[in-house]
C-alpha cells in the first residue's frame, strides 16, 4: 500500500512539473490567387542593386506563400483567441474587420518556422496606407505611400508577443494598414510574396480612400 501511495505521489509531482498545454491556433487558408499589387519602382531598384553593381542579368521573379498570426490574451477581442492565416499563391489580402471583433489588445507576428524552408530573406518592405495621425498625443501611421525595409528588425516581428496592438481609437489600423512585401533570394531567382493588411471599417481614414476621393 505504501508503494502505491509513493508511486501515485511521484506521478502527481511529475504531472505538476509539465509545461501547460498550448492550444493550437485556428487555421484559415486562403487559396485564391493574389490580386495584382503595386510596387514602388524604388523597391525594384533595391532588388537590382542586391545583384551587384556589375550584374547584367535581369532577376527572375517567382511567387511563394506566407503565414501571419494574430492572438490575444484577453477575451472577446478577436473572433478566435489565436488565428493563423496561410496565404498561398503569392500572398494576398487580410481584412481584419472579420477577426478584430471587440475592444482590447492583441498581437501580430510572422511565425518563424515558415522561413526555415525558404531561400534567404533579402528584404521585408512595408508600404504604408495610413497617413500620419496624432491620437492622444502620439503619432501613428508612417504616411501615405511611405515605405521602409523592416528586415533589420524582422527577427522581432517573428516573436509572438513583440508587436502589441490596441483597438482604442483604431490605433492598430494606422499601425498595420498597408502592404508587406517579402523578397527571398536564391541565385538570380527572387521569390516574392505579400500581405495587404486592412480593416475596411476604417478605410475612409486610409490613404487609398483619400486618394480615390481626390481623383474623383
Q: Provide the whole-model pTM.
A: 0.83
Of residues 46 and 195, the one with the higher pLDDT is 195
Cell of 187: 541565385
The pLDDT of 128-150, averaged and rounded, is 95
pLDDT in tens, 7-41: 344 444 444 444 445 679 999 998 765 556 667 78
At residue 22, the pLDDT reads: 62
**Rounded-to-integer distance, Cα 51 and Cα 120, Å:** 14
Q: Are strands 133-135 and 82-87 parallel, antiparallel or unpaired?
A: unpaired
Three-state secondary-structure class, residue 162: coil
At residue 215, the pLDDT reads: 40
Q: Which of 155, 64, 60 is nearest to 118 (CA)?
A: 64
- Residue 171's pLDDT band, with cuts at 50, 70 and 90, is very high
Amino acid at each position: 500500500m505504501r508503494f502505491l501511495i509513493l508511486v501515485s505521489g511521484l506521478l502527481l509531482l511529475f504531472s505538476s512539473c509539465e509545461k501547460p498545454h498550448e492550444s493550437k491556433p485556428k487555421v484559415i487558408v486562403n487559396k485564391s490567387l493574389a490580386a495584382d499589387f503595386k510596387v514602388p519602382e524604388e523597391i525594384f531598384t533595391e532588388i537590382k542593386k542586391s545583384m551587384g553593381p556589375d550584374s547584367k542579368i535581369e532577376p527572375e521573379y517567382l511567387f511563394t506563400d506566407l503565414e501571419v498570426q494574430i492572438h490575444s490574451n484577453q477575451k472577446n477581442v478577436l473572433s478566435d483567441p489565436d488565428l493563423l492565416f496561410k496565404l498561398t499563391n503569392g500572398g494576398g489580402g487580410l481584412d481584419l474587420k472579420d477577426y478584430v471583433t471587440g475592444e482590447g489588445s492583441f498581437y501580430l507576428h510572422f511565425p518563424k518556422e515558415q522561413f526555415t524552408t525558404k531561400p534567404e530573406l533579402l528584404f521585408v518592405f512595408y508600404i504604408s496606407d495610413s497617413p500620419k495621425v496624432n491620437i492622444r498625443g502620439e503619432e501613428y501611421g508612417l504616411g501615405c505611400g511611405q515605405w521602409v525595409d523592416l528586415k533589420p528588425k524582422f527577427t522581432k516581428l517573428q516573436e509572438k508577443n513583440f508587436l502589441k496592438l490596441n483597438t482604442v481609437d483604431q490605433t492598430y489600423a494606422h499601425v498595420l494598414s498597408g502592404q508587406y512585401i517579402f523578397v527571398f533570394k536564391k541565385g538570380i531567382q527572387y521569390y516574392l510574396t505579400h500581405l495587404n493588411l486592412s480593416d475596411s471599417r476604417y478605410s475612409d481614414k486610409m490613404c487609398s480612400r483619400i486618394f480615390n476621393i481626390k481623383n474623383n
